[in-house]
Amino acid sequence: MASFNKVILMGNLTRDPELRVTPKGTAVCQLGLAVNSSYKDKEGNTKEETTFVDIDVFGRQAEVIAKYMSKGRPILVEGRLKLDSWESKEGEKRNKLKVVLENFQFVGARGDSGGDAGGGGSSLEDSAPPPRSSARSNNPGTSRPASVDEEDVPF
């Protein structure tokens, strides 16, 4: 049977990212994301609903998010659903559905506090890093440098 597990969400961080490092040296970051949606009820009144989602991030992406993101900032995440199961101290079975981040995009202008719940007012292109170019450019008339070092990118 075929299956497909993909989630794309845009919202605001509910808390500062929590960065930890495993004994083997892998960075692990946990985020809380608030995603708002609105709908009209049977009477035609607009209702707002907020969904809170826990997100796990690993590796270099975890380090970047922990360094540049903070509570209230908007972010677009792409990942997959994962069900965590455990047994509580009282012996009860517990389950929690999380998102494991595979890709992300900062949203909003640099220095934007991301205060509005709509995820910022700018498009994704406004906050995207400069495109990477290869050492050999197809267009020799471009003024972009031949390569971009990751440390030169401010986010």
- Which tens digit of pLDDT belongs to each residue from 24-36? 999 999 999 999 9
Across 48-57, 67-76, 108-117, least confident range: 108-117
Output the pLDDT for position 116.
42
Contact between 32 and 70 under an 8 Å Cβ cutoff? The reply is no
Confidence class for position 154, pLDDT limits 50, 70, 90: low
SS3 at position 61: helix
What's the rounded Cα separation, in Å, for the pair 29 and 138? 38
Strands (E), 41-108: 46-58, 74-87, 93-106
pTM as predicted: 0.67
List phi, psi (to 5°) of 95: -135, 145
Flag whether pLDDT at 126 surpasses 60. no
User: H-helix or E-strand containing 28?
Assistant: strand 27-40
Closest by alpha carbon to 50, among 61, 40, 39?
A: 39
In the chain, domain spans: 7-124
List phi, psi (to 5°) of 24: -85, 0
Which fold is adopted by the domain 7-124? OB fold (Dihydrolipoamide Acetyltransferase, E2P) (2.40.50)
